[in-house]
Amino acid sequence: MKIILSPENSSWIGILTALAAFYPALIGAACLQLVLESVRKSEQLMAVFSVGVLLLTIIAAIVFGVFEFNGVYPAISFWGTIGLSLTGVWVWIVANGDNPDLQTSDPYAPSGGDTERPLKGDTSEYQE
């Protein structure tokens, strides 16, 4: 927090650059996924929503990019990219909310099944 609030210290520029590259990629990919799914399901409202979010993200990326390039409003640039990163995670959750591959299934599935079931094969030859 001290790094962000002290504008004379330039060590936070790398963090701001990483955040500025993160949220456009995340929101762009999630919006593309939303558009493709909504077209497949014939849901025009979701397609309009995702294109609107994408356009607002492009505008915000341009504004924050100009702020970062010119070195003005560093705190606004930082907190704006944090907010847009959180928005990107939210859009990703909306895009993947009904994805069956990401939903929790049987808790025993990674271990190969229920541990109380009888084992296959014959173990009568083994001594303890």
Q: What is the pLDDT of residues 68-125, one digit of tens each?
A: 777 788 788 888 889 989 988 988 888 888 776 666 666 655 566 666 777 777 777 7
Determine contact, residues 113/55, Cβ cutoff 8 Å.
no
Amino acid 72: pLDDT: 81
According to DSSP, residue 117 is labeled S
Note whether residue 126 is domain-resident: no
Determine contact, residues 3/12, Cβ cutoff 8 Å.
yes
Note whether residue 43 is domain-resident: yes
The pTM is what?
A: 0.64
Residue 72: CB partners within 8 Å, gap ≥ 6? none
State the first-to-last Cα distance of the chain, in angstroms, to the nearest integer: 60
Note whether residue 102 is domain-resident: no
Whose structure tokens read 């493709």? 36
Q: How far apart are CA 113 and CA 109, in angstroms?
A: 5
- Is residue 48 scored above 70 in pLDDT? yes
Note whether residue 67 is domain-resident: yes
Note whether residue 104 is domain-resident: no
If one counts the domains in the chain, the total is 1
- Which structural domain, as residue segments, surrounds residue 31? 19-94
- Is residue 10 scored above 70 in pLDDT? no
Note whether residue 36 is domain-resident: yes
Note whether residue 2 is domain-resident: no
